Amino acid sequence: MKLFFKNFFAGIYNSAGELNINNIISLIDCNKSAKLIDLGCDDGDITMKIARKLQSKDITGIDIIEDELIKAKEKKIKTYKMDLNNKLEFKDESFDVIHANQVIEHIADVDLFMSEIKRILKKGGYVIISTENASSWCNIVASIMGWQIFSLTNFSKYRQGIGNPFALNSDSKEYSSWNHVRIWNIRGLKDYFELLGFKVVKICGAGYFPLPALFGRFDVTHSHFITYKIVKK
């Protein structure tokens, strides 16, 4: 029975993840001259989907995992190996569009991370940031049960999926850079971005466990993935 539920959660999680990517792409405006940087580009698959919507060929990708950067480079992405917990090696106002999907929850010094994003972003440029939501229904239920919320079961270098019997990847050991440091509620990130001087243009949701992922678009507050489009004033 436990295996059945874990497989069930894995299926709807993947469905929510796909819808979240669609939400991200929907927030991209076509601009052939725009310079795009993907913070945490992984193998570059999502980066290229964004680039195709943007219709730009000036694409940069940052990651810390060498094997993934090799795959991204094969897609004609300008790749750099950097730790996003440190300052970024780019000049001020270098990019028009910045994307960071499922990254901010891994960052130890989020103030430095966001200040660097603001520094390398051109005035009037925008950032797409997506992360998991502490107020998603599955996280709320897990908390009521006294379990670690689903979004914070990956916090140790020794093993993933700690403290929740239905956590995904509970038997795996992944890269330590994949561990989650903190998870926000929807209002927390909105207020934080505004505090930093960004204008929050739109917030999208995806995932609504155990219901179909599409429900998250209508109740963003309790969706599992939340995606923000913010503009540098």
Task: Kindly state whether residue 169 falls inside one of the protein's structural domains.
Answer: no
| Distance (Å, whole) CA 195 – CA 164 | 34
| CB neighbourhood size of 183 (10 A) | 19
pLDDT at 4: 45
Position 11 scores a pLDDT of 56
- For the chain, the straight-line distance linking the first and the last C-alpha, in angstroms and rounded, comes to 52
Residue 75 lies in a domain: yes
In a domain, 163, yes or no: no
Q: How many CA atoms lie within 13 A of 97 on its CB side?
A: 28
The predicted structure's pLDDT at residue 78: 98
Asked if the structure places residue 156 within a domain, the reply is no
Instruction: Write the CATH number for 46.
Output: 3.40.50.150
Ramachandran category for residue 41: left, alpha or beta (phi over 0 → left; psi -120 to 50 → alpha): alpha
In a domain, residue 165? The reply is no
For 184, the domain range is 2-134+178-232
- Domain contains 81: yes
210 within some domain: yes
Per-residue pLDDT of the chain (233 residues; tens, 9 = 90+): 555 445 555 556 678 999 999 999 999 999 999 999 999 999 999 999 999 999 999 999 999 999 999 999 999 999 999 999 999 999 999 999 999 999 999 999 999 999 999 999 999 999 999 999 999 999 999 999 999 999 999 988 888 889 998 887 655 555 566 789 999 999 999 999 999 999 999 999 999 988 888 899 999 999 999 999 999 99
d(CA 22, CA 211): 18
d(CA 101, CA 116): 16
- Kindly report whether the global pTM for this prediction surpasses the value 0.85: yes
For the record, the structure tokens of 6 come out as 């874990």
Residue with tokens 């980066």: 47
Asked, for residue 16, whether it belongs to a domain, the answer is: yes
CA distances from residue 204 to 35, 41, 148 in whole angstroms, order as listed = 23, 21, 25
Give the count of domains, the chain: 1
98-to-21, 31, 40, 227 alpha-carbon distances in Å: 15, 13, 11, 13
Tokens of 104: 């901010």
pLDDT for position 169: 66
Residues paired with 62 in a beta bridge: 39, 80
